[in-house]
Amino acid sequence: MPIHTFETMGTVASIRTRTATRPASLNRLESVFRRYDETFSLYRPASELSRIARREHELMNSTAGVRAAYAEAVEWRNLTAGDFTPHRPDGIIDLSGIVKALSMNEAATLLDRMSPEGWLLDVGGDILSSPSFDEPWHIGIVDPADRTGLLCSVLLEAPWRAVATSGTAERGEHVWRTDATGDFTQVTVVAGDIVTADVLATAILSGGRARLDAATADYAIDVITVGRAGELLTTPRLRSVLAAS
């Protein structure tokens, strides 16, 4: 199975395809992520979002892509009662919580053409798969207490296509907590699309048990959380996976 890896957005992306891919196609795919990084990264002084942060450029006069990403992030902020937000505590617009998922969605359109028999995209541990379920993908969920081990593996089959994890094991407390008790150290969400999975993983890590209960009531998702003492909470499907593993 062909595997292509490259660095992007400060992490590593890998693509597994069930058909051979041409270098030109892979270059076009990499350019999608490069464009998002060059536009939205706050670590790049010349990025559009960095210039907005320095007040050298107004959001209202920004490109359509920036305005659309911000609008979607604001919508998610409203849907999660602020547990997910596009604003840092100092007011700076930070779209890193949604941009990776948006870039993966755009890349999926190219991957459908590149490998119609199936593909799997992994960007920094967040997963998006092809909509073909003839051969479902097995995805491992990492153990935050042992980054070389797994809590379990899940099968990406209809209607699930995406897996996203938010946690503190690698990057520390990088998510602004709206839940002062900090219920969870890691949250994994399995969903039908990567934006929902990525945003809700962040929102549940931020908002704790209250956001977990609201998200599982409002959205067709599966979730596994790890508490500060290592305790696990899972939705029924993932509970059966853990019991069988």
Which tens digit of pLDDT belongs to each residue from 76-111?
999 999 999 999 989 999 999 999 999 999 999 999
**Residue 201, Cβ density class (10 Å: 0-12 exposed, 13-18 middle, ≥19 buried):** buried
Whether the Cβ atoms of residue 44 and residue 150 lie closer than 8 Å to each other: no
Lowest mean pLDDT among 28-42, 106-120, 128-142, 173-187: 173-187
Q: Is residue 160's pLDDT more than 80?
A: yes
Q: Is residue 168's pLDDT more than 70?
A: yes
Taking alpha carbons only, the member of 7, 6, 15 closest to residue 129 is: 15
Reported as a single tens digit per residue, the pLDDT across 107-129 is 999 999 988 888 999 999 999 99
Q: How many CB atoms lie within 10 A of CB 46?
A: 8
* 133 or 60, greater pLDDT: 60
Domain range summary for the chain, segments of one domain joined by +: 3-244
- Report CA torsion sign: 119, 75, 167, 218: negative
What's the CA gap between 187 and 212, in Å, rounded? Answer: 9
Please compute the mean of the pLDDT values over residues 128-138 and round it to a whole number. Answer: 81
What local confidence, expressed as pLDDT, does residue 74 receive? 98
Please compute the mean of the pLDDT values over residues 125-144 and round it to a whole number. Answer: 85
Q: E strand or H helix at 212, and its extent? A: helix 194-218
Q: How many CB atoms lie within 10 A of CB 155?
A: 13
Whether the Cβ atoms of residue 21 and residue 117 lie closer than 8 Å to each other: no
Lowest mean pLDDT among 132-136, 160-164, 206-210, 212-216: 132-136
Q: Is residue 66's pLDDT more than 80?
A: yes
Predicted confidence band at 174 (pLDDT cuts at 50, 70, 90)?
Answer: low
- Report CA torsion sign: 73, 74, 78, 79: negative
End-to-end Cα distance, the chain: 26
% of the chain surpassing 90 pLDDT: 65
Q: Is the peptide bond prior to 159 cis by the omega test (within 30 degrees of 0)?
A: yes
Question: For residue 97, which phi and psi values (nearest 5 degrees)?
Answer: -75, -10
What's the CA gap between 236 and 11, in Å, rounded? Answer: 32
% of the chain surpassing 70 pLDDT: 91
Q: Is residue 212's pLDDT more than 70?
A: yes
What local confidence, expressed as pLDDT, does residue 169 receive? 56
What local confidence, expressed as pLDDT, does residue 241 receive? 63
Give the mean pLDDT of the chain: 89
What local confidence, expressed as pLDDT, does residue 214 receive? 96
Predicted confidence band at 177 (pLDDT cuts at 50, 70, 90)?
Answer: low
Taking alpha carbons only, the member of 41, 43, 30 closest to residue 69 is: 41
Taking alpha carbons only, the member of 47, 125, 124 closest to residue 93 is: 47
What's the CA gap between 90 and 157, in Å, rounded? Answer: 41
* 241 or 165, greater pLDDT: 165
Architecture of domain 3-244: Roll (3.10)
What's the CA gap between 55 and 188, in Å, rounded? Answer: 35
